[in-house]
Structure formats: C-alpha cells, structure tokens
Structure 1
Amino acid sequence: MAEVSVNTRAHCKLLLHAAKYPHRAVNGLLLAEDPKSKESRKVKILDCIPLFHITLGLAPILEVALTQIDTYCKSCGLVIAGYYQANSHYSDIKPDHVAAVIGKKLHEYFSDAVLFMVDNSKMSSEKDGDLCRLYYLKDTHWALADKKYMVEEGAVSIGASLMRSEASRSLVDYDNHMDNITMDWRNTEINSLIEKCT
C-alpha cells in the first residue's frame, strides 16, 4: 500500500463539505500530485473536489463531473487519486455500495487510489488529524488500512478555525454548480482563504 499524505487545502475542503451538510451524505474526489514514476509508492493529496450532497451515485451527472474534473487535473499536473464519503448516519463509517463502486472505477485509472470514509464523531476535534478512515483496494474489496495517512502540520487547527468562522457556507460542491453554473466547483475563494491561514 502507498504512503498517503494530505495537505491543508484538501483536509480543510473535505472537512467544510461534510460540515455544510451534516444531515446528509456527501462525497468528493481526492486530487494528488501526478507521480513522476509508476513505481512511486507515495500519494500526495493536494486538493479535493466536493461532488454531491443530494444523490451520491447518480451515474450521468457523475460521468459529467469526472470528465470535467479529469480535464482540470490534466491542466494542473494532478490525478484523481481517490474518493471520500461522509455517510448521513453519525456512527456509520463503512464504505457502502456507492463508495465501493466509485472507488474501484478510480482504481482502474490510478493503481494507488484510496478511499477515505469520514468519521463524523471527529468533525469537531481540534486535536485529531484522523478525520477519515483510510481504505485501500485489497483483491476485490476495500480494506481498512493498518496505517494512517499523514496530515500536513497546521491543517487541523486551520480547519477548526474555518469551521468556527462558518466558511462551510461558502463551499461549492458539484450539486451547487449544477443548480447554478456560475458557482465555481474548484472553490477558488475557499482555496484563497485557506492559503491566507497558512
């Protein structure tokens, strides 16, 4: 299994997406630095793209989103390296059918693709960087990793600060973009806000 690290931008946007819709399941994509070598066993997650909060696995809209996000990634030297999901039930942190299927599809294109399942009980923690449980594809199913992913220093406290300031209200997911195409699913405003905090 590859070594996985998450930078401040990705950590904070994932956190804000789950916080914006605490009563709903949400999902998104994890974008990583395109490895220079196929033998690289490091996945450096640099950003995330919040996808949905209404219907997580609606195939036609998901296909449109994946095509658009893949084009964006190629222009930035990134790859879609994983998937995240927060389930609607507070204590449910296991991958469901939607997470498993989307994760496997991503794995076909990026062999070290990972699956993050948000632990809702850690949403308000300012001390714990383990907001998600890390899964990897083992044979044909997603298995819980025995090691944790690394979070960039300062990311947890910046995420907590953004939560207190209710920055989640400004976060745009792909559902929001489909309702109003002027809304930017890349979240450039949130990205700038996170950069000011670092």
Structure 2
Amino acid sequence: MGDSSKRVRLDQRVIVDGVLELSRTEPTSRITFKRLGAALGVDATAMYRHFRNKDELTRAALDRLIGAAAEAGREAPGNWRSRIETFLFRLAELSLEHPSIASEGAVIDAAGIGDIAADELILEQLTEAGLAGDALIRAYAAISGFSLSQGAALAQEAMTVEGAARDGSIPWIGSYGVTNLAEYPHVYAHRDALFAISGMDVYRAGVAAILDATERAADGS
C-alpha cells in the first residue's frame, strides 16, 4: 500500500512547485517525470494530463523563475537602473538555486506571463531612462539575451561541478592546460587575475557594461 500522506491533488501549479523543489534539492540531476512523480507521490504518467512533455513543464518552471525575478525588480527602490539590476541579480540567484531548470534558459523560450512581466519591466525601466525607438529595443535585446544566456551558463556550471557552492564562485577559467603561456605574453602577464575571475564576476561585469552603455545612450538621446 502506498503512503497516502504523500498523495497530492495535481494541477499545473503543484507540479511546477514540485519540479522547482526537486531542482533545488537535487541540483546536479536532470528532471524526469519519473523522478518528479516519485517526489510528489504520484504515478509519472499523471503529469501528462497537465503537461504534454518535459519541455512544456520546463518552460512553465522557467517562466515561474523569470516572473519571480521580475517581481523583485518591480518592488525594488531607486531608479530605473537599480530596478533592472535587482531583476538581473535575482534572476542569477534563482538560476543558481534551480540549475536544472535555468540551464535550459538559453534554448527554451518561457513565453508565459512571467516572461511577459520581465519584458514589460525592462521596457518600462528603459523608457524611464529616456530611451525610445531602436535604441530602446537594442538595450532590451542586450539585457534579455545576456541575462538568460549567462544565467544558463551559471546554472550549467552549478550542475556540472559536483559539490560546488551555488553562488557563482566557480572559476571562469579553470586552466589553460599544458600550453606554454610564455608564448602568449598578455595572457601570461594577467594569468593570476584571469584565474581569479568567477562566473558571477563575469555576470556582474556584463550587467555593468550593458547598463553603462544604456546610460550613455540615454544621455545622448
């Protein structure tokens, strides 16, 4: 006889809650309906009544993460830049917290209400900054593309490196192998500083560069 205490009434929200909890507690494992069913105490086939396949479920979970980051950005105090920064860094935190979901962000389009809320936030804040037309769309593209792709990269590293802290501290450059770096004088001169760069350092630098460029574009508009 099964454990009735584990039985749940399934709907899309419960299933997404379950997949996010599984991705948080078992960060190095890929999500499957079988694993999710076991975690929820239901037969894996029950998920198919709510999601056609794993991609659709992953899309819904990713949309939830993006929406949560957008909500944090909207509630942040300060000006347009601080609200976008809050959104972007919260998205990075959630990507590291739920790596098996966020690692799909570069290849799966969430295309839900969370994703729309994030786009609305970015466009609203860029408009507040003074951008319009092509300049606004270019800034949006840079922010959206960078955050999803680099967030996915952070998540993928968190999944790949067993036992690594989920804080973005994994080195950006692990090694140059056995190559004689003396033949590459600039790399050789900066090797220690290069090895000290973490994935989160790269994320922060990218955010700063994009928003600095956005401010210059707004000032020149």
TM-score (norm 2): 0.25
**Structure with greater strand share of residues:** 1
CA radius of gyration, larger in:
2
Higher relative contact order structure (alpha carbons within 8 Å, sequence separation ≥ 6): 1
**Structure with greater helix share of residues:** 2
